[in-house]
Amino acid sequence: MAAPDLPDTMARVSLAIEPQGPEDGAQIPLPLPGGAAAGEPQAVGRYLPQPGVFDECVDADAHLRPHWRELFENLSAFGPGEFGERTERARQLLHDNGVTYNVYGDPRNAARAIELDLVPLVISEAEWAEVEAGLIQRARLMNSLLADLYGEQRSLKDGVLHPGVVEGNPDYLRALRGFRAPGDIWLHVYAVDLVRGPDGRWLVVGDRTRTPAGPGYALENRIITSRSLAEAYRAIKVKRLAAWFDRLRQTLRALAPWTRYPRIVLLTPGPYNETYFEHAYLARYLGYTLVEGNDLTVRGDRVFLKTLGGLEPVDVILRRVDDDFCDPLELRGDSPFGVAGLVQAVLAGHVVVANALGSGLAETPAIIPYLPALSRHLLGEELALPNLDTVWAGEAQGRARLTATGGNYALRPAFPRIGVPAPGDGEAWGRHLDYRPYDAVGQAPVRLSTAPCFTPEGVRPRPVVLRAFLTATEKGFSVMPGGLVRIAPTTDRPILHLQQSGLSKDAWVLSSGPVEQFSLLRPPDTAVEVRRQGNNLPSRVADDLYWVGRYAERAEFGVRALRAVIQRLTDGGGPQGNVEIGPGVAFLASIGEITPELAELATTDREAFDAELLPMLIDEFRAGGFASAVRRLNMNTGMVRDRLSVDMTRVLLHLHGQIEEVGKATPGDYVGLLDCFDSIVASMAALSGLGMENMTRGQAWRFMDLGRRIERAVCAISLTRDLIIGGEDGENRALDLALEVADSFMTYRARYFTGAQFAPVLDLLLLDEANPRSLARQMWALADHVENLPRERGAFGSGAARLLAQTALAELRAAEIQRLAGAGADGRNSELEALLEAVSVTLPELSDIISQTYFSHALAVRPGGPIRTVSTP
């Protein structure tokens, strides 16, 4: 019973209804390969919507809905297995782009990859127009409600809204009472979670007014889906998303009419936030500086960004920090994410925060039951988009209704609060409701609609929830055509938080008119001014990059040292190999790679040494070891993710796996261990290569390289002390080892054609500025960096740093190798020791001056200790 309106391609796979077991219903093979060979009927995915559930692509009579036809016509051209391959490639692309969603409660706080289903949810133009109108009305309603609640409170005075919904809401910021949002815009971004019930109507299950998450994920989904299904995306007229983001940009720009070029920043709680990926992604896409609370400071009721060049005024803050966390002075005192004095700056009108501070108030589902009445009251209109039936237990009537449903309604927290039972935990809620009924909201059960999703078994119907996004514009609210579609684990409960499902897909809204070809990356009309200098680097970012440089170098040095010493434990250590074992393990202990106790064991009890070595090497919480350096490297790169290339992120991901390999080596199998070290050294080299060759020589690069040079200089000094001087009378000298750790063996060979000797090795590793690993080379580079640091910051710091670097360099240049190598009557190389001492004192001083001069603005802010109300008898 093929439907007459089916395209030819559908006929090929014979649309049919076959009775099928207990889940009897429409079984429609869709033309998407399920993994088996082509041509066989079984190879075609069996699409079997559940009875009593609305399916997005197939109607109750098992006919493909007309607006899906074009998509399937295009997809049916795929060969067998091709869809699976494309899905795999898309997944890889997401992984490589680092698209993640941090899951709270994960012991390692690991970021979980967002997974993408490539089959888009297709929505017809006519249907979308209706949803769009409803969404716009709802946005107007929420916006007016916020203006009312922070202003006149007509809705409360006239008894339309229960005061408990407002007064008991932690997002109600009393400090903002009487505040009028600039342009009366409270919601610059607003999101609505929609589901479709069995009768085909879209229902609202929740609102996001605080800091709506998801537009960035929606965009990323669109970019990858349109690339993976390029033929279909080109052939089908799908409404584009870019224009929506441009409207958001225009709205934010217009918020600061006092300046032609407003500085707009995106305020994030930091890399441990669940949606940090999106913050970095949106900041990059919209062209805003990504900042944390400590990057900003309030001076004289104005907000400034702390940059290397000094304080720069900030006009607009697009925030991803929750309302009550935005100002530790006036709001939550324990917030580490906010900016002290921000409320005052907002009240003074010198900065605009989007969404407006306090707008989280409208996010509570406890408000939903009142929306129809509020719509009549505030807008004089009937609410167009229906709500999923929602009841608030804070009101006697609501409690009675909840009781009447006999536990049928799913309970969820009304307000973001600690100590509230989890959604759906009926037993815990039962007790909780007795004394804190206002914490609970009940929602009617609904069977979610299903849409086709690609699974290993073929294309299958899966329940979906759509998050739609709006932005305010001069002409009212504008809806993103499409949104983020989440795939729910079960059909009977809508998912409300991103944590609940990592699987999402794109939504394609069809268009009959021409499609806007617009890209934010290349705006059509505005000419970009040619610039050589990027925007001024925030101090915190410079700080983080400096430590990226230091830890990368520290890790590389450590693993090179380990490799060279372990090499000597095997028989392949060369003629000097055995002699160098003692100094080598002592050196490892001296630089902290292993403990002194373990170093002792290397020469006395090799078996015990082998047993303890591996766990010690991979212990990332043991200070000094390379694993700990890599952990800190990862932490620091995590905080400047928007500044590092995708390639660097990949190397770091890879490095993580390589360290795990070290832990899996067999104790005593030095050859296997050396293989691991070889690959880690290669990764570290790739990282430094990417830094040298692929980063523009701007401030970001300079601070990263500064860190690397300082650390390498520190390492060169300990190498010289431990392995080249090697104690009194050079009894622990290990020159070959020193050359190997400093990667200078080849140069030495080519230059001297002899075994390693004291003076030439000293010259190569200490004084030779042509050797990229020598101490003199590091001091030369440091002097150059310091010379080129930003000067606006007051001459003192940069002047002192210049003096230090230049003096150390001059001392190295003035040194004569014969005098340095010559031992005094006491057998000590006192001149050499004095030189090393002079330079080694300079390095921490230099590091401190740089920190104080350039990073000091990023000093942690802490509460000044509230006065306790205490009294004595």
Instruction: Tell the burial category of 817 from Cβ atoms under 10 Å away from its Cβ (0-12, 13-18, 19+).
Output: middle
Nearer to another protein, 158 or 381 (CB): 158
Asked whether position 157 contacts another protein by CB under 8 A, the answer is yes
Footprint of another protein on residues 388-427 (CB under 8 A)?
Answer: 395-396, 417, 419
Backbone Cα Rg of the chain: 32
d(CA 735, CA 744): 11
Q: Which stretch binds another protein (CB under 8 A): 207-215, 430-438, 689-697, 844-852?
A: 430-438
Shortest gap between Cβ of 433 and another protein (angstroms)? Answer: 11
Shortest gap between Cβ of 172 and another protein (angstroms)? Answer: 9
Beta bridge partners of 440: 413
Number of shown-chain residues binding another protein (CB under 8 A): 56
Reference 314, options 299, 331, 335; nearest CA is 299
| Binder among 193, 274, 323, 330 for another protein (CB under 8 A) | 330
How do 458-473 and 189-196 pair as beta strands?
antiparallel
Helix axes 539-569, 577-590, angle to 10 degrees: 150
Nearer to another protein, 170 or 270 (CB): 170
Q: Which stretch binds another protein (CB under 8 A): 154-162, 284-292, 511-519, 810-818?
A: 154-162
| Binder among 13, 248, 329, 739 for another protein (CB under 8 A) | 329
841, 811 Cβ separation under 8 angstroms: no
Shortest gap between Cβ of 324 and another protein (angstroms)? Answer: 9
Shortest gap between Cβ of 845 and another protein (angstroms)? Answer: 19
Which tokens sit at 849?
A: 């001056």
Q: Please list, in sequence order, all residues whose beta carbon lies within 8 angstroms of the beta carbon of residue 582, skipping any fewer than 6 positions away.
A: 603, 732
d(CA 160, CA 377): 8
How do 264-267 and 316-319 pair as beta strands?
parallel
Handedness of CA 735, 737, 738, 742 (dihedral sign): positive
CA angle, residues 774, 778, 782, in degrees to nearest 5: 170
Reference 504, options 288, 290, 278; nearest CA is 278
Footprint of another protein on residues 649-708 (CB under 8 A)?
Answer: none
Asked whether position 156 contacts another protein by CB under 8 A, the answer is yes
Shortest gap between Cβ of 159 and another protein (angstroms)? Answer: 5
Shortest gap between Cβ of 443 and another protein (angstroms)? Answer: 22
Shortest gap between Cβ of 417 and another protein (angstroms)? Answer: 7
Asked whether position 297 contacts another protein by CB under 8 A, the answer is yes
Shortest gap between Cβ of 847 and another protein (angstroms)? Answer: 19
Q: Which stretch binds another protein (CB under 8 A): 45-53, 235-243, 785-793, 861-869?
A: 861-869
Shortest gap between Cβ of 333 and another protein (angstroms)? Answer: 7
| Binder among 23, 24, 152, 158 for another protein (CB under 8 A) | 158
Nearer to another protein, 524 or 864 (CB): 864
557, 661 Cβ separation under 8 angstroms: no
> Does residue 355 have a cis peptide bond before it, meaning omega lies within 30 degrees of 0?
yes
Binding mask of the shown chain, residues 241 to 280, with x at each position contacting another protein by CB under 8 A = ----------------------------------------
| Binder among 180, 227, 234, 299 for another protein (CB under 8 A) | 299
Nearer to another protein, 215 or 421 (CB): 421
Using alpha carbons, list the distances in angstroms from residue 301 to 298, 316, 745. Answer: 6, 14, 60
Reference 598, options 580, 616, 581, 583; nearest CA is 616
Q: Which stretch binds another protein (CB under 8 A): 278-286, 523-531, 535-543, 857-865?
A: 857-865
Shortest gap between Cβ of 405 and another protein (angstroms)? Answer: 20
Tokens 């009101």 -> residue: 395
d(CA 803, CA 449): 71
Nearer to another protein, 177 or 664 (CB): 177
| Binder among 300, 349, 489, 572 for another protein (CB under 8 A) | 300
Footprint of another protein on residues 332-391 (CB under 8 A)?
Answer: 332-333, 340-341, 344, 347-348
Long-range contacts: 240-244, Cβ < 8 Å, 24+? Answer: 240/481, 240/515, 240/516, 240/517, 240/518, 241/480, 241/481, 241/482, 242/516, 242/518, 242/519, 242/520, 243/516, 243/518, 244/469, 244/471, 244/478, 244/479, 244/480, 244/481
Q: Which stretch binds another protein (CB under 8 A): 22-30, 149-157, 379-387, 799-807?
A: 149-157
Asked whether position 872 contacts another protein by CB under 8 A, the answer is yes
Which tokens sit at 760?
A: 């030439």
DSSP 602: H
Asked whether position 865 contacts another protein by CB under 8 A, the answer is yes
Nearer to another protein, 210 or 643 (CB): 210
- The DSSP string of 229-277 is THHHHHHS-B--SHHHHHHHHHHHHHT-TT-SS--EEEE---TTSTTHH
d(CA 191, CA 317): 19
Nearer to another protein, 420 or 639 (CB): 420
Reference 213, options 185, 249, 244, 189; nearest CA is 189
Asked whether position 867 contacts another protein by CB under 8 A, the answer is yes
Nearer to another protein, 598 or 859 (CB): 859
Asked whether position 746 contacts another protein by CB under 8 A, the answer is no
d(CA 46, CA 28): 6
Nearer to another protein, 434 or 525 (CB): 434
Asked whether position 328 contacts another protein by CB under 8 A, the answer is yes
Using alpha carbons, list the distances in angstroms from residue 313 to 264, 328, 665. Answer: 10, 20, 54
Shortest gap between Cβ of 871 and another protein (angstroms)? Answer: 4
Residue 401 C-beta-side C-alpha neighbours within 13 Å? 19
Asked whether position 855 contacts another protein by CB under 8 A, the answer is no
Nearer to another protein, 406 or 865 (CB): 865
Nearer to another protein, 402 or 767 (CB): 402
Asked whether position 227 contacts another protein by CB under 8 A, the answer is no
Shortest gap between Cβ of 439 and another protein (angstroms)? Answer: 9
Nearer to another protein, 301 or 389 (CB): 301
Nearer to another protein, 297 or 443 (CB): 297
Nearer to another protein, 344 or 806 (CB): 344
Nearer to another protein, 173 or 715 (CB): 173
| Binder among 93, 113, 175, 635 for another protein (CB under 8 A) | 175
Asked whether position 754 contacts another protein by CB under 8 A, the answer is no
519, 526 Cβ separation under 8 angstroms: no
| Binder among 13, 26, 114, 173 for another protein (CB under 8 A) | 173
Asked whether position 864 contacts another protein by CB under 8 A, the answer is yes
Asked whether position 323 contacts another protein by CB under 8 A, the answer is no
Residue 676 C-beta-side C-alpha neighbours within 13 Å? 23
Binding mask of the shown chain, residues 432 to 461, with x at each position contacting another protein by CB under 8 A = --xxx-x-----------------------
Asked whether position 608 contacts another protein by CB under 8 A, the answer is no
- The DSSP string of 584-595 is HHHHHHHTTSS-
Show the 3-state SS of 381-412.
Answer: CCCCCCECCEEECCCHHHHHHHHHCCCCCEEE
510, 239 Cβ separation under 8 angstroms: yes
User: What residues make contact with another protein under the rule CB under 8 A?
Assistant: 153, 156-159, 162-164, 166-168, 170, 173-177, 297-301, 328-330, 332-333, 340-341, 344, 347-348, 395-396, 417, 419, 431, 434-436, 438, 856, 859, 861-873
